Amino acid sequence: MIEATNLRKHFGAIAAVRDVSLRAPDGRITGLLGPNGAGKSTTLRILYTVLKPDSGDALIDGISVIREPLEVRKRIGVLSHGAGIYPNLTARENILYFGALHGLSRADREARAKELIGLLEMDEFADRIAKGFSQGQRIKAALARAIIHRPRNVLLDEPTNGLDVMAVRTLRRLLVRLRDEGHCLLFSSHVMQEVAALCDEVVVIAHGTVAASGTPEDIRVLTGESTLEDAFVKLIGTGEGLG
């Protein structure tokens, strides 16, 4: 369960996040939808404790990201923008490294890595050096790495960027599976169709503030538009590109 209240973050004179409050419940997939530069990544970075907000706070399973970031980190799995795996390690070594950093015992992390490699259909490249991986292979390795410690909450920053159709389907299946197991999933995207296809809840962000939130149906009704796409365009203002 992720709850953020009145988050605000400036970088110098630029306000990346002005006022964001959101709620991502357990057992649901929540989509953070907004155009490029709306403040999605900054919001996620505050939630996964890499940035500290100027004001406001966020609770992960009731624990404050400001006061107890270490406790929060035990409860979250993070797929950051662009995956970022180590090119000189194999996929399996990448996964095991994070298992060790999360304090899992050797036997535990090895069993868990094996399980995730099977689940994400990575057997073919699991023991290859990551240097030559395709974007899809990289994302899969990074995702397995992010959830090696069975976190209750999973945060993903633009996870489908650069993925082909097959990889997107594998990813979606995994997210749905995690949801059905009762996890809280929060992911950002600027691709409207993706959010519409996958999310139970949507939070629309524009100009650093929350423009609307609720189920896709709620948002359509709220704006009086017939499709989510039209609703989205209306919410963020017509001047913005959708990327």
Partner 1 sequence: MYAILTVFLKEFRENLRERRTLLSALILGPLLGPVLFAGALSLNIEQGTVKNDRPVSLAVSHAERAPNLLAFLHEYGVTVKPFAVEDAGARSAIREHRETLVLLVTEHFGQQLSSGEPAPLVLYADSSDVSNARDLGRVRILIEQYGSLIARLRITARGIDPTVLSPIVVQNVDVSTPASRSVLLLGTLSYLMLLTMLMGGMYLAIDTTAGERERGSLEPLLTVPVRREQLIYGKILATCAYMTLSLCLTVTAFAIVLQFVGLEQFGMSVNFGPLVALKVVLFVLPLVPLGAALMTIVAAFTRSYREAQTYLGLVLLVPTLPLVFAGMLGLRPTARLMAVPSLSQHFLITSLLRDEPISAAYFALSVLVTLGVGAALILVAGRLYDREALLG
- Of the candidate spans 72-80, 167-175, 202-210, 217-225, the one that interacts with partner 1 by CB under 8 A turns out to be 72-80
Spell out the residues 6+ positions from residue 77 whose beta carbon is closer than 8 angstroms to its own: 146, 147, 148, 149, 151, 153, 154, 155
Q: How many CA atoms within 13 Å lie on the side-chain side of 18?
A: 10
191 binds partner 1 (CB under 8 A): no
Separation in Å, CA 126 to CA 48, 105, 189, 242 = 27, 20, 27, 35
How near is the Cβ of 101 to partner 1 at its closest, in Å? 4
Beta bridge partners, 69, equal none
57 sits near partner 1 (criterion: CB under 8 A): no
State which residue, 88 or 226, has the beta carbon closest to partner 1: 88
Q: How far apart are CA 124 and CA 126, in angstroms?
A: 6
Q: Which stretch binds partner 1 (CB under 8 A): 32-40, 49-57, 158-166, 175-183?
A: 49-57
Q: Which of 13, 88, 226, 239 is in the footprint of partner 1 by CB under 8 A?
A: 88
Does residue number 52 form part of the binding site for partner 1 (CB under 8 A)? yes
List Cα–Cα distances, 111 to 95, 157, 196, in angstroms.
11, 27, 35
Single out the segment in contact with partner 1 by CB under 8 A; choices: 41-49, 174-182, 208-216, 235-243: 41-49
80 forms part of the interface with partner 1 (CB under 8 A): yes
117: contact with partner 1 by CB under 8 A? no
Instruction: State the Cα–Cα distance between residues 188 and 155, nearest whole angstrom.
Output: 8
Binding residue (CB under 8 A) for partner 1 from 4, 16, 51, 235: 51
Smallest gap from Cβ 221 to partner 1, in A, equals 36
The H or E element spanning position 153 is strand 153-157
The verdict on 81 binding partner 1 (CB under 8 A) reads yes
Closest approach, Cβ 164 to partner 1, in A, equals: 20
Give the 3-state secondary structure of residue 57.
Answer: strand
User: Least distance from C-beta 111 to partner 1, angstroms?
Assistant: 18
Closest contact distance (angstroms) between CB of 35 and partner 1 is 22
User: Tokens 């390690």 label which residue?
Assistant: 89
Query: What is the four-CA torsion angle of 176, 180, 181, 186, rounded to 10 degrees?
Result: 50
Applying CB under 8 A, what is the total number of residues that bind partner 1? 33
Q: How far apart are CA 12 and CA 150, in angstroms?
A: 37
Is residue 87 involved in binding partner 1 (CB under 8 A)?
yes
Residues interacting with partner 1, by CB under 8 A?
45, 48-52, 70-71, 73-74, 76, 78-89, 97-98, 100-103, 129, 142, 145-146
